[in-house]
Structure 1
Amino acid sequence: MTAPTCPAFEGVLFFPVTPFTEAGEVDLDALSRHIASGVDAGPGGVFIACGTGEFHALELQEFGPIVRTAVEVVAGRVPVYAGAGGSVAQAKQFAVAAKEAGADGLLLLPPYLVEMPQAGLVAYVRDVAGASDLPVIVYNRNNARFIEASAIAVSKISNVIGFKDGTGDLDNVARIVHAVTNAMKGEAKDFLFFNGMPTAETTQQAYRAVGVPLYSSATFAFAPDLALAFYNALETGNAELTTALLREFFHPLVRLRDTVPGYAVSLVKAGVTFEGIPAGPVRPPLIMPTSDDLTKLRSIIDAGRAVLAAALAQAR
């Protein structure tokens, strides 16, 4: 298998939700509108049916149409990567389904519940990566925690093209970035590093400092204006706007998110509905925000947009 070319991810990475009807069925029409609106705002890539998209709650028969819908709506404007994970057998089935649906690559999520030695983690990645020729980004989080040696081992798999961190262990991440970068010198492929922390904007300054330039943005799914403003402020060195957005929007959002397990998904879904696209409920075991928390979310979004309005007024 030849080494795939790394996609040119530039800008904020869009992780759509998966809209459901009130009856609990996948709502492909709402998904199409959601993705179209997001892509029109200008992300650097679309990651469909991943963590924010409730991959853990999807059946294989639902997954294919979801990925196909994303591919059709995006229409080649940016790369479309799809989630895969779970048991090795399940992950391989999802990898094949993503390929058949036209995805450009995979984000490999951890196996569920299982604790594993490093050699077993490498074998898991190798088996799933071998199920298709799609480029694979491995996700370092939860029970799938890499060290330098295992990160180097998976980076050598021909179609593994990236490493995404969701642990927040910057010491380990910095060592992995250094080790993999050195190990990949002279290889025929580039290798990408991503910040995959929930509400990644709050940690991206630190991740950039250790060589991780790319990040996923759950905020982009419901407030692309805020996500893009933060990204542009960070890229241009606008410390005043970066600080104001962190203070008024991102940090309050994190504080609300951390009050209930699963709010990292359900708050995003509520935010999408606020913006006019009915995203429906989350599937159990996640729960939707309480009415009080929905009110808090609206206030946080309003505060973030007030920061943008003030910045625009000042620039005139």
Structure 2
Amino acid sequence: MGHSTGIAKGILGFPVAPFTEAGKLDEHALFENIRFLVEEGLDAIYIACGSGEFQSLDKKEYKVMLDTAIAAVAGKVPIYTGVGGNLRTAIELAAISEEKGVDGYLLLPPYLIQGEQEGLYQYAKEIFESAPDLDAIIYQRDNAVYSVETVRRLAAFPQLKGFKDGIGNMDLNICLTQEFKGRLDFLNGMPMAEVTMPAYVPLGITTYSSAISNYIPHISRMYYDALLAGDQNTLDALYADVILPINSIRKQRKGYAVSLIKAGMEIIGLQTRGYVRPPVVPVTKEHYNEMEQIITKALDKYPRKEKIAEIKES
């Protein structure tokens, strides 16, 4: 289905993988969660990526997550999948994604290895070549930091449509955006991307993945509109009331990037109890209570309007 127009822009939704107490994937909850994101106006769905606990899913669960996302999205917004880790597995997941007819995939880092640039290039190249019909987005993070030279080599593949930054090296980002403006679409994929978005907008990067959109999507939208409109007063208020308080809890423990989202979803009454798979740990009672206070205050001050009637036709 490869799109020549590039990748979906705006606020990107990254659903979690809801599990039951017995540790099984909860398909019904997943369907409801994704439908909520689409109805709330998110611009694309990225299924089975980092927040979807990609690293702990088996292939059958991966397929179920894709099928559920396709059913819940019902063609309203583009769908991208998570592909990465072990090279052979990544190629299989790209094949599954291609077969399901999604729009593209986010290339997650290879398993554990700190690869040379040549190794990262070959890793991406083999995956790109294995699924020529899918749009690919490189995810720069952890052990996968691509140099400008490596991105230049990978840009020879028409499948490469996007570059998602999870490192925050602005020197590198400026070099990349200057060189690949018009060739690649850039996304802010920093942890709690709302914190850093004002630094990305001047580089022409207006698309980001939002963790908090899983439970307070209307606040993500309010933040985004204020950001693009240059409305500093609204931004300052949202930073003080919502974004920075949640971010300071998120930084307390490793794995909170995932489990804090589940806690937030549970707090607003979505069908996701906070079960996670190791090595991710659930949110402590104390942090859960802090989150509850932040969210309750936020919903009080920034109430959610009745459901958006017109879901974006696309």
Q: Which runs of 5+ in 2 are unaligned?
A: 304-314
Is the CA contact 1:7–1:79 (under 8 Å) kept in the aligned structure 2? no
Once residues 61 and 18 of structure 1 are traced to their aligned partners in structure 2, the CA distance between those partners, rounded to angstroms, is: 13
SS at match of 1:130: helix
Once residues 23 and 164 of structure 1 are traced to their aligned partners in structure 2, the CA distance between those partners, rounded to angstroms, is: 34
Query: Match of 2:163?
Result: 163
Query: Match of 1:103?
Result: 102
Once residues 213 and 174 of structure 2 are traced to their aligned partners in structure 1, the CA distance between those partners, rounded to angstroms, is: 26
Once residues 3 and 59 of structure 2 are traced to their aligned partners in structure 1, the CA distance between those partners, rounded to angstroms, is: 26
Query: Match of 2:116?
Result: 117
Once residues 107 and 59 of structure 1 are traced to their aligned partners in structure 2, the CA distance between those partners, rounded to angstroms, is: 18
Structure 1 residues 101 and 179: CA distance shift in structure 2, 3 A: same
Q: Which runs of 5+ in 1 are unaligned?
A: 185-189, 310-316
SS at match of 1:127: helix
Q: Which amino acid in 1 is paired with 2:277?
A: R
Please show how residues 119-158 of structure 1 align to structure 2 within 5 Å. 119-132=118-131, 133-158=133-158
Query: Match of 1:239?
Result: 232
Is the CA contact 1:65–1:101 (under 8 Å) kept in the aligned structure 2? no
Please show how residues 36-51 of structure 1 align to structure 2 within 5 Å. 36-51=35-50
Deviations 1:189-241 (A, max 9, x none): x4200000011000001011223221110110111111111011112221101
The answer to whether structure 1 residue 285 and structure 2 residue 279 are counterparts is: yes
Deviations 1:67-87 (A, max 9, x none): 111011111111000001101
Please show how residues 1-316 of structure 1 align to structure 2 within 5 Å. 4-7=3-6, 9-132=8-131, 133-181=133-181, 190-280=183-273, 281-308=275-302
Q: Which amino acid in 2 is paired with 1:64?
A: K
Is the CA contact 2:32–2:271 (under 8 Å) kept in the aligned structure 1? no
Farther-moved stretch of structure 1 (38-47 vs 99-108): 99-108
Q: Which amino acid in 2 is paired with 1:102?
A: G
Is the CA contact 1:3–1:158 (under 8 Å) kept in the aligned structure 2? no
1:307 to partner: Cα distance: 4.1
1:128 to partner: Cα distance: 0.7
Is the CA contact 1:68–1:102 (under 8 Å) kept in the aligned structure 2? no
Deviations 1:168-194 (A, max 9, x none): 11111111111223xx6xxxxx42000
Percent of pairs identical after alignment?
Answer: 36
SS at match of 1:137: strand
Deviations 1:257-280 (A, max 9, x none): 010001011000111122222323
Deviations 1:1-52 (A, max 9, x none): x974135624311111111111001111000000011100001101111111
1:98 to partner: Cα distance: 1.4
Is the CA contact 2:7–2:161 (under 8 Å) kept in the aligned structure 1? no
Question: What count of residue pairs does the alignment treat as equivalent?
Answer: 301
Q: Which amino acid in 1 is paired with 2:72?
A: V
Once residues 124 and 204 of structure 2 are traced to their aligned partners in structure 1, the CA distance between those partners, rounded to angstroms, is: 23
User: What TM-score, normalized to structure 2?
Assistant: 0.92
Q: Which amino acid in 2 is paired with 1:204?
A: M
Once residues 163 and 68 of structure 1 are traced to their aligned partners in structure 2, the CA distance between those partners, rounded to angstroms, is: 25
Once residues 224 and 116 of structure 1 are traced to their aligned partners in structure 2, the CA distance between those partners, rounded to angstroms, is: 37
Once residues 295 and 159 of structure 1 are traced to their aligned partners in structure 2, the CA distance between those partners, rounded to angstroms, is: 45
Is the CA contact 1:166–1:195 (under 8 Å) kept in the aligned structure 2? yes
Once residues 22 and 192 of structure 1 are traced to their aligned partners in structure 2, the CA distance between those partners, rounded to angstroms, is: 39
1:303 to partner: Cα distance: 3.2
Query: Match of 1:313?
Result: none
Once residues 23 and 101 of structure 1 are traced to their aligned partners in structure 2, the CA distance between those partners, rounded to angstroms, is: 28
